[in-house]
Amino acid sequence: MNTSNNALTEAVYYILLALVEPMHGYGIMQQTAILSKDRVRLSAGTLYGALASLLDKGWIEQLPEEGRKKDYRITPAGREVLEQELQRLAELLENGRNILNSQNE
């Protein structure tokens, strides 16, 4: 559960989004680059650390190993965090649009 009100970092946001489909580490990096049109590139160090702490929080889980590559997947708790983040982002977007658009009228 995301008990704090903190915004997710872009890295964590994209990692969670990518892991809606089971994926291994390198796949997450590629997926993030594709989703963000190459704007966000996760470094291996960032991703490794983030995966460890997300596992720790229970937002993602590791799937039984097949071969050498480890696959990860988002958990219901992680999905909940993503939903909350989406709401937060929607609020930011809505307020921004409302105020800027009313000024432009």
Partner 1 sequence: MEKKEIKKLWRFYSIADYEKEEAFLNEMARAGWNLTAVGFCRYIFRRGNEGEYIYKLDMVERTESDEVKESYFNFLTECGIRVVGEFKDWIYLQKRASDGPFDTKNDTYAKLRQVNKVYSFSLRTVCNLLRLFACVIIVLSIVQALMSNNVTVAEFCGGIILSVAVSSLIALAIIWVPIVNKLRRKVNKLIDDIGVNL
Q: State the minimum distance, in angstroms, from the CB of residue 46 to partner 1.
A: 5
CA-based nearest residue to 10, from 30, 38, 32? 32
Q: Which is nearer to partner 1, 57 or 79 (CB)?
A: 57
Question: By C-beta, is 44 or 83 nearer to partner 1?
Answer: 44
- x/- letters, 21..50, toward partner 1 (CB under 8 A): ---xxx--x---x----xxxxxxxxxxxx-
Considering the complex, state which of residue 22 and residue 25 has its C-beta at the smaller distance from partner 1. Answer: 25
Helix, strand, coil in percent for the chain, rounding step 5: 60, 10, 30
